[in-house]
Amino acid sequence: MDTSDLILSLATNAPPVKRLRPPLVRALGWLLLAVVIMGLMTLSHGLRPQFAERMHERIFAINMISSLLTGVLATIATFFVSLPDRSHRWLLLPAPSLLIWLSTIGYQCFAGWVPVPPGAVTVEAASGCLATLVLTSLPLSLLMLAMLRYAALLRPTSVILMGSLAVSAITGTALSMFHPLDATAMILGWNLGTAVLFLAGAAVFSRKLERGAV
């Protein structure tokens, strides 16, 4: 078959391709689900004691706002950078809020350390915190993976790492809303440890995707 005829045949018989929605629309859809999950968590667990009073504390309020803003900006950056025609500079979008979030965590730990009274950290408290983390992060991670499955092989490292940061920040916000202890190794472990685990797992997974694409 002549090359021109082959091209014409393929173009004629090719099924229509469903275009992806704009990245900002998909990011807002994912964030809407995050709001729903956090709302369900509020109904299930209730806010931490004296949450309204704590929000009047400057460091705590900055921590909450910066972690939530990091999640929102990282989500937007994830969906934009997943497209091959978009600049890698989108990866810098959540950088300022991320630095503020991490600095407030460190400040709470080292400058405003609050001793943990005996028996305050129990198996029940730890398991409840873990359940909150899993129930928040797992559905968000699965949904983001489903929404980005067509872009995973194009920019696997950038997309997966930024998506993991988005899930980690949203999860950190939820834990700050429901977990009763502040400025302890446990809270620091949940906020930083969760992010590190997500990013480390994403890095390993992205290398496997790259090897599979070769």
Sign, CA dihedral 196-200-203-209, equals: negative
pLDDT of residue 94: 94
pLDDT in tens, 160-199: 788 888 888 888 888 777 766 553 444 445 545 655 666 5
How far, in Å, CA of 162 to CA of 202, rounded? 9
How far, in Å, CA of 85 to CA of 95, rounded? 21
Residue the block writes with tokens 């446990």: 186
Mean pLDDT computed over 141-167: 78
Residue at 159: amino acid letter: V
Residue 133 has pLDDT above 50, yes or no: yes
pLDDT in tens, 7-54: 777 667 666 667 778 889 999 999 998 888 888 877 877 777 777 887
How far, in Å, CA of 63 to CA of 101, rounded? 5
